[in-house]
Amino acid sequence: MNTFLQQRISALAGQPMGMAQGGPVNADLIDTSDPEVQRGLAESAMMPQDPDEALRQTIEGLMGAAQETEDPTERRVAEGLAESALTGSQAPMADMAIQLAQAGRGPDTQLDSS
């Protein structure tokens, strides 16, 4: 901190201002013996690496939810979401549509042509 600024603050506060004492520092960033950390690592290892597989699992989950529910509104919503996800995944320019949506609509928007 600037010494002049520190002197001004001390004068306004009526008492000398010093640096605060810091707390203990934990050198271990991740404790791999922690059961919660181990559970998280196991879950991340089970996650599908293929993004299409994750989408397929989501669509199957939505279709299962649509079949299991007794509420007609919930059924229509789940079926609509599953149909939208399936249609979007099969669209010939789906990647371009995602890129356009992420880029926004500003006048300075540039798209990658690769």
How confident is the model at residue 45, as a pLDDT? Answer: 72
Asked if the model's pLDDT at residue 103 lies above 70, the reply is yes
Q: Say which amino acid occupies 42.
A: A
DSSP state of 92: T
- pLDDT greater at residue 53 or residue 70: 70
How confident is the model at residue 108, as a pLDDT? Answer: 72
HSE-CB at 87 with a 13 A cutoff on CA atoms is 6
Domain boundaries, the chain: 49-101
Confirm if 66 and 79 have CB atoms less than 8 A apart.
Answer: yes
- pLDDT greater at residue 99 or residue 74: 74
- pLDDT digit string (tens) for 54-98? 788 888 988 998 899 899 999 999 999 889 888 877 877 877 777
Among candidate residues 73, 98, 49, 3, the one with its CA nearest the CA of residue 65? 73
Asked if the model's pLDDT at residue 20 lies above 70, the reply is no
Q: What is the mean pLDDT of the chain?
A: 77
Asked if the model's pLDDT at residue 12 lies above 80, the reply is no
Tokens of residue 49, six digits:
């690496």
